[in-house]
Amino acid sequence: MKKHGMLLAAASALLLSACQSNKCTPSETNVCIDNKEVADIMQEILDGMVFIPAGEFYMGLVQGPENQMPERKIYMDDYFIYQSEHTWKQIDAFYRLSGYGYTDGAKQWEPERGVNLGANHPAFEVYYYDAHNFCQWIGDMTGLDAGLQTEAQYEKAAKNGNRSHIWATADNQFIEGRDYPTMEERTVPDEVSTGVHVQMYIPVTSQPPSPNGLYGLHTNGEEWTADLWRSKYLELAAERNPSFPVPYETRLAGRQINNDKELKAGERYGVAVRGGGSAWDKMNIGQRYIQQRVGRDGRGTNALRCTINASELPTINQQ
């Protein structure tokens, strides 16, 4: 996985640590977290961030579906994006420890009650409201500008400087058993019965990463973005760091949805999602190419991937 070189030797590193007695002194460069489990989760998340350097890239298609045209040159500032979909382990910690709570009906990973969704599997059924708050929690704990990926951040990271790339794989090819699992690999013993079942989703780092160190951009579920759905996104998008923030009412997943008034009649979906489908087969995943854009009801459930708008990340030191 490629990371920003400054991560290894930042001159003024922000220390993120679990406070124990006098070992951690809060300051402008030293942030103390008094809960070791929270500090461990934050360390895991920041260790998994991949640096995407500032610069231009081509977003969209020259020819294709109307909502994926026209091709536009977009400039993006530096940012970090998480290497994979966030896991059930991380989402479970958020539900239990953040103070945000969770949307009524949200699926929870509770191994002690037999609900074991797989600690390293993608959290694929998270309401938009909870996904937004999860990324906000990262910002709360670290003092960084964290949030859900925007559409532009997703596409720039997925293309990795290759204008013509269709697949966010190691080499722009799509090979069974390497870039998506075989049926045999997805068939596992059923924990409840004596039979077997076929996994729709697989551990987040099961397949080789893209050249810049990102996993699951074409498998393991659609991913929420921070953007309100716009069918003519590429015509309306700003030339620098484009984003169409989702209104608060739309974020209230599972409670209500009130689409922005700018949406035209018939555009009933509130939130743009990007990324792959379930770990199914070549036909299923093959429809999930990099440029594909889909709108989803804000009350729906999907996977998620957070970003951090920064040129450097904290050095994490637990004491």
Reported as half-sphere exposure (CB side, CA atoms, 13 A), residue 131 has a value of: 35
- Asked if the model's pLDDT at residue 122 lies above 50, the reply is yes
Q: Does the pLDDT at position 112 exceed 60?
A: no
Q: Quick one: pLDDT at residue 20?
A: 45
> Smallest Cα–Cα separation from 219: which of 80, 61, 84?
84
SS (H, E, C) the chain: CCCCHHHCCCCCCCEEEECCCCCCCCECCEEEECCHHHHHHHHHHHHCEEEECCEEEEECCCCCCHHHCCCEEEEECCEEEECCCCEHHHHHHHHHHCCCCCCCCCCCCEHHHCECCCCCCECCCEEHHHHHHHHHHHHHHHCCCEEECCHHHHHHHHHCCCCCCCCCCCCCCCCECCCECCHHHHEEECCCCCCEEECCCCCCCCCCCCCCCCCCCCCCCCEEEEEECCCCHHHHCCCECCCCECCHHHHCCCCCCCCCCCCCCCCCCCEEEECCCCCCCHHHHHCCCCCCCEEECCCCEEECCEEECCCCCCEECCC
The pLDDT of residue 301 is 83
Question: How high is the pLDDT of residue 178?
Answer: 87
pLDDT at residue number 315: 65
pLDDT of residue 97 exceeding 50: yes
As a residue count, the chain comes to 319
Work out the pLDDT band at 237, boundaries 50, 70, 90: very high
Mean pLDDT, range 197-214, rounded to an integer: 86
The answer to whether residue 313 scores a pLDDT higher than 80 is: yes
pLDDT at 241: 98
> Which is it for strands 294-296 and 315-316: parallel, antiparallel or unpaired?
unpaired
Q: CA 123, CA 203: separation in Å to the nearest integer? A: 10
Asked whether the predicted pLDDT for residue 5 surpasses 50, the reply is: no
CA–CA dist 316, 318 (Å, integer): 7
Mean pLDDT of 130-158: 95
17's tokens: 């640590």
Q: In order of start, what are the domains of the chain with their CATH numbers?
A: 5-316 (3.90.1580.10)
pLDDT for 263 equals 47
The average pLDDT across 62-66 equals 90
What the block records as the tokens of 166 is 């269709």
Q: Average pLDDT in the 238-264 region?
A: 64
Query: Would you state the pLDDT for residue 284?
Result: 64
For 219-230, the pLDDT digits (tens) are 888 999 999 888
- Does residue 176 carry a pLDDT above 60? yes
Question: CA-to-CA distance for 221 and 299, rounded, in angstroms?
Answer: 16
pLDDT at 102: 77
Residue 118, pLDDT > 90, answer no
Tell which residue, 215, 225, 220, 172, has the closest CA to residue 48.
215
pLDDT category of residue 190 using cuts at 50, 70 and 90: low
For residues 266-294, give the mean pLDDT: 73
Name the band, by pLDDT with cuts 50, 70 and 90, for residue 259.
very low
Pairing of the two strands 306-308 and 146-148: antiparallel
The pLDDT of residue 60: 94
Mean pLDDT of all residues belonging to the chain: 80
- In whole angstroms, give the CA distance from residue 36 to residue 213: 28
Q: Kindly state the percentage of the chain with pLDDT values over 90.
A: 39
- Radius of gyration (C-alpha) of the chain in whole angstroms: 19
Beta partners for residue 213, in sequence order: none
Q: Does residue 170 or residue 28 have the better pLDDT?
A: 170
What is the pLDDT at residue 35? Answer: 85
Task: Compute how many other C-beta atoms are within 10 angstroms of the C-beta atom of residue 27.
Answer: 10
pTM of the model: 0.85
| pLDDT at residue 162 is higher than 70 | yes
pLDDT score for 257:
41
The C-alpha torsion from 202 through 303 and 74 to 54, rounded to 10°, is -70
* Cα–Cα dist 216/277, whole Å: 10
- What residues contact residue 9 under an 8 Å CB cut-off, 6+ apart? none
At 140, give phi and psi (nearest 5°): -60, -45
Tell me the β-bridge partners of 20.
Answer: none
Question: What pLDDT score was predicted for residue 18?
Answer: 47
